[in-house]
A and B are shown apart, each in its own frame.
Chain A
Amino acid sequence: MMIRRTLINTILWMTLVLQGLAVPAFSETQPKRVVSMNVCTDQLAILLATRGQLHSVSWLAADPGISVLAGEAKGLTLNHGLAEEIFLMQPDLVIAGTYTTRATVNLLKKTGIRVEEFAPASSFADIEKNIGRMANILDNPEKGDALIASFRSDLRRLKEKQASRKRLALYYANSYTSGAGTLADEIVDASGLRNLAKELGYSGTIKLPLELLVAHQPEMIAGRERDFGKPSKAEENFSHPAFKAITGGGRGISIESKYWICGAPFVLDVSQELWERADEN
């Protein structure tokens, strides 16, 4: 295993030298050819990698409907999370989510490639932890410190504002909502609103029956929307007459799902947006 890895490294170095690329002063341990295969680790890596360090991200990262940093991902090689494809890229570090294609991750580990897995963030503390860990793995700790510092100051600025304490229901496709212990709940909390699902005793991502939504009449209802071009039954709940009746008069708002789904600093953009919408409401 070790021999193969050294071999790969040697080949890598040689190609870099042969190509005459300007190689910045890498430290010994700094990974130089990083492949990420999960849309959330993709975005953290884009934020924290130095120029040229990140070789490939998942194809989802370049989809502007899913990824906030799609523009930055465009210039990189896109992968589809297939073991063969990743192996041929000869990375010295693979970053995956703990829910990413398990079979691929296990195969890659067997070939001796270093794989780092990230659990999805379910709180702001997780976001800071993941930023710190990603920065260390990429060996750019100063970038991590800076990002965490700006995240904290943004959060502090939000918390200093006067909270409106209006009730907000999160309501997604298939009648799902986010209760206590979820990132979405903390996002709502940071916007000075109260999460209806949490107040009803829900925790995790769980179904919120339309009936209960109608019965409790929250002041705001937020969906995480994304236009896939083609319809599905899952999104039918948004056109249910009862749903339409309670979202009239500006109570229903929608914020693109890409800002919610990944634990990254831009989740505070959602809090900021919710805050402004609550003021108008």
Chain B
Amino acid sequence: MKTSQNAVALNYWFLMAGLSVSVVLLFALSLLIGPLAVGVWEAWNGLFSTHEIPLALIMQEIRLPRAILGAVIGATLGLAGAVMQGLLRNPLAEPGLLGISASASLGAVLAIYTGLAAVFPLGLPIAALTGSMIAVLLILAIAGMSGSVLTIILAGIAVSSFAGAMTSLALNLSPNPFAALEIVFWMLGSLNDRSMVHVQLAVPFILFGWLMLFSVSRALDVLTLGEEVAASTGVNLTRVRLLAIFGTAASVGAATAVAGAIGFVGLIVPHILRPLVGAQPSRLLPASALGGAVLLLAADIAVRLIAPERDLKIGVLTAIIGAPFFLWIVLSYRRSLL
């Protein structure tokens, strides 16, 4: 027994090390890929140059923010997915499927297209955060009432399509003809031409959200034994729920505000990693964060390689991987129910 536990622990550290190395490599690769061919040495110089040369501008103001956002937003989605799945004890819980990302998009759209974000930049992440918070509260209220998997997923679909429709409406009503074309960005997400301004706006909220999400990992471990057991061991369920809600809302809201709603990352990543970490939430959370970063960085590199001229939306790629995966989970889950 002892040795097998040690083996799991050892495997876990191998997994974490492997994921960390992948994040670093993909981050570096992300910095090296772009329309302009840049060698490794040039890229390195550009990244740390203090002169206003074109290469420094390209590396520091165009490629670096993109790579940072890819890693941070991917980690957010993986982490939030793992927390939602642990909290709701539901394999299909995920910010995208539950309508949290779509609601954050709606908040961001309202802030940007009414001009609020131009006057008051912090209004953008705050509006997105508010949108995502409303969605999380709604889902939890519904889950609290019956708690069945089906109810939560159906509620998620309802929230998601409502927020999506409101986003389209707001964009269609905008007097700016470009706005209507941007529905696709808010539905599928993109990291193209983001700047350090976006990093500065989103990252503080995201990190704050992470803190709250990581703080519930021990409680989630106990929660796997059931709510009654958890309560009897002294876990304050209300506090855990609130931390998970605000953590998800803050991090996913801020991420969506600058990159649009990117789906499926929060679904796939915890599912792939769960068997590898021994189904223990406190181990799954950091692993899912790293896994999310790996997936999103890889997807963002892929969109640049597949169609460099076209600004292919990153959500297209995550959906191509995610949708069949989602179907597979639904099918296997149905089988286990029968």
Q: Is A122 an interface residue (CB 8 A)?
A: no
A237 to B182, CA, bound (A): 14
**CB 8 Å contact bits of B164-199 with A (1 = contact, 0 = none):** 000000000011111101100100000001011100
Q: Which residue of B lies closest to A173 (CB)?
A: B178
The answer to whether residues A230 and B115 also contact, given A214-B57, A215-B54, A240-B193 and a CB cut-off of 8 A, is: yes
Q: Is the CB of A217 within 8 A of B54?
A: yes
Q: Which residue of A lies closest to B186 (CB)?
A: A233
Q: Is the CB of A215 within 8 A of B112?
A: no
Q: Is the CB of B54 within 8 A of A214?
A: yes
Q: Is the CB of B185 within 8 A of A242?
A: no
Q: Is the CB of B112 within 8 A of A229?
A: no
Q: Is the CB of A231 within 8 A of B35?
A: no
Q: Which residue of A lies closest to B61 (CB)?
A: A242
**Residue among A175, A207, A235 making CB contact with B178, cutoff 8 Å:** A235
Q: How many A-B residue pairs have CB under 8 A?
A: 89
Q: Is B52 an interface residue (CB 8 A)?
A: yes
Q: Is A232 an interface residue (CB 8 A)?
A: yes
Q: Is the CB of B113 within 8 A of A210?
A: no
**Residue among A212, A232, A236 making CB contact with B174, cutoff 8 Å:** A232
A contact residues around B58 at 8 Å (CB): 211, 214-215, 242
A240 to B62, CA, bound (A): 9
Q: How far is the CB of B145 from chain A (nearest CB, A)?
A: 38
A contact residues around B54 at 8 Å (CB): 214-217, 246
A contact residues around B308 at 8 Å (CB): 209
Chain B interface residue bracket vs A:
20 to 34
Q: Is A11 an interface residue (CB 8 A)?
A: no
Chain A interface residue bracket vs B:
20 to 34
B contact residues around A235 at 8 Å (CB): 178
**Residue among A175, A217, A230 making CB contact with B113, cutoff 8 Å:** A230
A174 to B287, CA, bound (A): 36
Q: Is the CB of B182 within 8 A of A230?
A: no
A228 to B171, CA, bound (A): 13
Q: Is the CB of B310 within 8 A of A207?
A: yes
Q: Is B273 an interface residue (CB 8 A)?
A: no
**Residue among B177, B185, B193 making CB contact with A228, cutoff 8 Å:** B177
A contact residues around B113 at 8 Å (CB): 230-232
Q: Is A234 an interface residue (CB 8 A)?
A: yes
Q: Is the CB of A231 within 8 A of B182?
A: no
Q: Is A24 an interface residue (CB 8 A)?
A: no
Q: Is the CB of B118 within 8 A of A212?
A: no
Instruction: List the 9 closest pairs (A to B, CB-CB), nearest first.
Output: A234-B178, A228-B176, A209-B35, A232-B178, A242-B61, A232-B176, A232-B179, A230-B176, A242-B57
Name 21 interchain pairs, CB-CB below 8 A, sorted by A. Answer: A207-B311, A211-B63, A212-B35, A214-B54, A214-B58, A215-B54, A217-B54, A228-B175, A228-B176, A229-B176, A230-B114, A230-B179, A232-B174, A233-B178, A233-B185, A240-B193, A241-B61, A242-B195, A245-B52, A245-B57, A246-B54
Query: Which residues of A does B touch, CB under 8 Å?
Result: 173-175, 206-207, 209-212, 214-217, 228-237, 240-242, 245-246
11 more A-B residue pairs beyond the given contacts A228-B176, A232-B179, A233-B178, with a C-beta to C-beta distance below 8 A: A209-B34, A217-B54, A230-B114, A231-B115, A232-B112, A234-B176, A234-B181, A234-B182, A240-B62, A241-B61, A241-B196
